[in-house]
């Protein structure tokens, strides 16, 4: 009957047949991340396979194609920067997330806490990220404080102090942006459901926890994807507080050999690969947690516009 048909609506499986473009994409992703993984392992353990920053194969192997030889020569150093880019992004979004939940909850359900949350969110969203990093790094001198902590800068696995400052900055920043996405998602859950939860005797907190949040978190995924992409790109600003992430490395190599275009194109490709991976993963996540019978938000919008 009509209501049963919708079950098959959201499926992406094309009856076991493989889409050649999708297969190519998966292969490319496996190659890229496999190579990155090996590079990182190599560098963390002080040159497991080759010397730190040196290509697995000598660039001269690719002399027939100068662009490729160039890429092979400098990609290893950029790969080390990609590690920090990925680290900053993941830490920013992961640590910002629980703070964002509290902020969004306060913003929607709080009384006095609503104003505290609003103030925080507006202040962070109303000032440039670079200025925030300056406050933490130069203004508060956080880095010299972190330098005193045990292990920092001496044990190779623990990143140096500037990285810590950047992680704190991105967490503070991302919490505010994620809170706004979450607030929108919470407000899009029909309030009647919370009323129904209260009507069977659940407390306000339990109603939010078991009924509102599970849905709001799903609705927040598109916003969350935006935030992830934002962080990948804006983690480049950590360069200005000395963090040797992807952009910083490309920039400092270019200042030696003046091949700006080539290096930034290479770095751009890395950023593109990160962004594509991120959007792909969140899109898969969204499909996986989709509520049967309910169209995904972008599909709903599309339907409405037709």
Query: Smallest distance, Å, CB 55 to another protein?
Result: 23
108 vs 278, which CB is nearer to another protein? 278
170 vs 247, which CB is nearer to another protein? 247
7 vs 51, which CB is nearer to another protein? 7
| CB count in 10 Å sphere of residue 255 | 10
7 vs 284, which CB is nearer to another protein? 7
| Burial of residue 240, with CB atoms counted within 10 A of its CB: 0-12 exposed, 13-18 middle, 19 or more buried | middle
Cα 19 from Cα 114, distance rounded (Å):
48
| Per-residue tokens: 30 | 């496996």
The pairs formed by 47-55 with CB atoms below 8 angstroms and a separation of 24 or more are 52/80, 53/77, 53/80
| Per-residue tokens: 176 | 């505010």
Exposure class string for 170-203: b at 16+ Cβ within 10 A, else e = bbbbbbbbbbbbbbebbeebeeeebeebeeeebe
Query: Smallest distance, Å, CB 153 to another protein?
Result: 13
Query: Smallest distance, Å, CB 141 to another protein?
Result: 4
Rg (CA), the chain: 23
137 vs 170, which CB is nearer to another protein? 137
Residue 177 near residue 99, CB atoms below 8 Å: no
Measured CA distances, 300 to 19, 80, 296 (Å) = 25, 41, 6
Query: Smallest distance, Å, CB 91 to another protein?
Result: 18
Cα 268 from Cα 246, distance rounded (Å):
10
46 vs 292, which CB is nearer to another protein? 292
55 vs 180, which CB is nearer to another protein? 180
54 vs 242, which CB is nearer to another protein? 242
Closest CA to 198 of 217, 212, 187, 188: 212
Q: Give the phi and the psi of residue 141 in degrees, each rounded to 5.
A: 60, 35
Query: Smallest distance, Å, CB 268 to another protein?
Result: 5
State the residue for tokens 């950029």: 78
Query: Smallest distance, Å, CB 306 to another protein?
Result: 7
Query: Smallest distance, Å, CB 205 to another protein?
Result: 11
Cα 294 from Cα 6, distance rounded (Å):
9
Query: Smallest distance, Å, CB 177 to another protein?
Result: 11
């Amino acid at each position: 009957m009509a209501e049963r048909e919708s079950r098959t609506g959201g499926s992406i499986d094309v009856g076991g047949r493989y889409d050649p473009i999708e297969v190519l994409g998966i292969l490319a992703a496996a190659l890229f991340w496999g190579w990155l993984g090996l590079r990182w392992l190599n560098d963390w353990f002080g040159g497991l396979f080759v010397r730190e920053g040196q290509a697995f194969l000598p660039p001269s192997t690719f002399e027939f194609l100068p662009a490729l030889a160039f890429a092979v020569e400098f990609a290893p150093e950029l790969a080390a920067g990609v590690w920090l880019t990925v680290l900053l992004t993941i830490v920013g979004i992961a640590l910002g997330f629980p703070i964002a939940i509290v902020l969004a909850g306060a913003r929607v359900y709080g009384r006095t806490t609503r104003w505290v949350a609003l103030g925080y969110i507006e202040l962070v969203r109303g000032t440039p990220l670079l200025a925030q990093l300056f406050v933490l790094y130069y203004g508060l001198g956080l880095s010299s404080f972190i330098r005193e902590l045990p292990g920092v800068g001496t044990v190779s696995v623990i990143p140096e102090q500037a990285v810590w400052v950047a992680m704190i900055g991105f967490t503070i920043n991302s919490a505010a942006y994620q809170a706004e996405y979450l607030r929108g998602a919470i407000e899009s859950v029909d309030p009647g459901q919370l009323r129904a939860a209260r009507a069977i005797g659940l407390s306000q907190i339990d109603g939010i926890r078991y009924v509102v949040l599970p849905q709001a978190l799903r609705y927040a995924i598109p916003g969350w994807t935006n935030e992830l992409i934002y962080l990948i790109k804006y983690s480049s600003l950590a360069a200005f507080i000395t963090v040797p992430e992807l952009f910083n490395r490309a920039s400092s190599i270019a200042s030696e050999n003046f091949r700006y275009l080539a290096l930034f194109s290479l770095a751009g490709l890395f950023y593109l690969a990160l962004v594509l991976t991120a959007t792909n993963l969140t899109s898969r996540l969204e499909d996986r947690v989709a509520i049967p019978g309910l169209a995904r938000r972008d599909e709903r919008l599309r339907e409405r516009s037709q």
